Amino acid sequence: MRFKFSMSPLSALLRSQKRLQRRLEKAMPKLRVSEPPKVSKPRAPRSGLVQVHAFGSNPGRLRMFEYVPSTRRDPATLVVVLHGCLQTAKQYDRGSGWSRMARDKGFVLLYPEQTKENNHNLCFNWFRPSMVARDRGELMSIRQMIEHAMERHGIAEDRVFIQGLSAGGAMANALLVTYPHLFAAGQVVGGLAFGAARDAMSALSVMKSGPRRQRREWGDLARSAAADASSQKPAVAIWQGRADRVVSPGNAEALLAQWLDLHGLDELAGESEARLEGSMIVWKDAKGRRLVEYRLLDALDHGLPVITRRAGSERQAYMLEGAIGAPQQFYETFIRPRRT
């Protein structure tokens, strides 16, 4: 049976999970993911991010920031983080808690940052073909940053991970698709599939309504971007809010179709689980390693799920506090070194 964009097999799984969720909710309170707070301006903590210059030719004219903990742990690990629109690297870092985790766990952080000269709203230009073409534009700038950081900090080739939110999620996905050999795993939060749009107008359209392609078409778009379509593919976690008013959940379905096709996975082979915060389906390889994770969070609007912080902490836009944090889940599931 061909996999169609309607996702009917997955929809059936999600409907059955809904029934399980209702039973869970009777026994336990449902996770509430808060709206972005209105106005709260306590003194901002100092950021540990440091700007790095001269990392390459930088054809996309981006900025590079990094955080290097005083004590690093083996294996040497790099996590690349791409902010969303209307955000800076430092704002995203303060809200997400990535640098605190990097300090505690001993890994290096890399933050590419957009400039207003490139995009007035500070969005990465994921919808412009010239910016996401292999070895061109913003995509090439970020690749140069990654390779520069790997060389300077002795990062192992199989220890590079990437997370992105919204436009940053779409750009993270473009990097995963175009340079699959660079990454062990990625987490795309409220993002979009590679090839979903070709200009600003079509980007706004697919964000609102979701794109319309078959599974094989999504896979072919991705394969056409990679130098070697047969190379090993990274693991991918796709997070989406069911209540997202900026990026339609249909875009997460397109992302899922793209990665199931790239990994050659049967949509019916996923292991489903009903959770208090929403639905999760996981596809694994023959050795039990996660290849694709799909999470649909019921109460989540557009933003990054983060653990609720103490009273008086500075709040950041598009950081949605609740009982579950995407950075922590990404670390525990994909980044944490495994004993062999």
Phi-psi region of 17 (alpha: psi -120 to 50; beta: other; left: phi over 0): alpha
Q: Which domain holds residue 244?
A: 8-335
Six token digits for residue 12: 């059936």
Q: Check pLDDT > 60 for residue 330.
A: yes
In degrees and rounded to multiples of 5, residue 293 shows phi and psi of -125, 130
Alpha-carbon gap, residue 156 to 160, rounded angstroms: 8
315 is a domain residue: yes
Min mean pLDDT across 18-32, 191-205, 268-282 is at 18-32
Judge whether 2 lies within some domain. Answer: no
Tell me, yes or no, whether 251 lies in a domain.
yes
Half-sphere exposure of residue 338: CA atoms within 13 angstroms, side-chain side: 8
Q: Mean pLDDT: which of 100-114, 221-235, 267-281 is highest?
A: 100-114
Active site residues: 166
Segment 316-329, tens digit of pLDDT: 889 999 989 999 99
For the segment 4-20, the average pLDDT, to the nearest whole number, is: 52
Q: How much is the pTM?
A: 0.87
Is pLDDT above 90 for 166? Answer: yes
The domain that holds 224 is classified in CATH as: 3.40.50.1820
Please give the full DSSP string across 146-207, using - where no structure is assigned: HHHHHHHHT--TT-EEEEEETHHHHHHHHHHHH-GGG-SEEEEES---TTS-SSHHHHHHHH
Distance of alpha carbon 137 from alpha carbon 149, whole angstroms: 19
pLDDT value, residue 39: 42
Q: 340 lies in a domain?
A: no
- Counting Cα atoms < 13 Å in the Cβ hemisphere of 228 gives 7
Average pLDDT across the chain, whole number:
89
Chain Cα centroid distance, residue 204: 19
CB proximity list for 204: less than 8 A, separation 6 or greater: none
In a domain, 73, yes or no: yes
Residue 116 lies in a domain: yes
Question: What confidence score (pLDDT) does residue 66 get?
Answer: 98
**Domain count across the chain:** 1
Residue 173 maps to a domain: yes
What does the DSSP assignment read for 188-202? EES---TTS-SSHHH
Which pLDDT band holds residue 37 (cuts at 50, 70, 90)? very low
The pLDDT tens digits for 271-293 are 998 888 999 999 999 999 999 99
Residue 3 has pLDDT above 50, yes or no: no
Q: Could you tell me if residue 1 is inside a domain?
A: no
Q: 309 or 62, which is more confident? A: 62
Q: What is the pLDDT of residue 276?
A: 85
Considering Cα of 53, then 57, then 63, then 64, what sign does the dihedral take? negative
Any bridge partners for residue 63, and if so which? 113
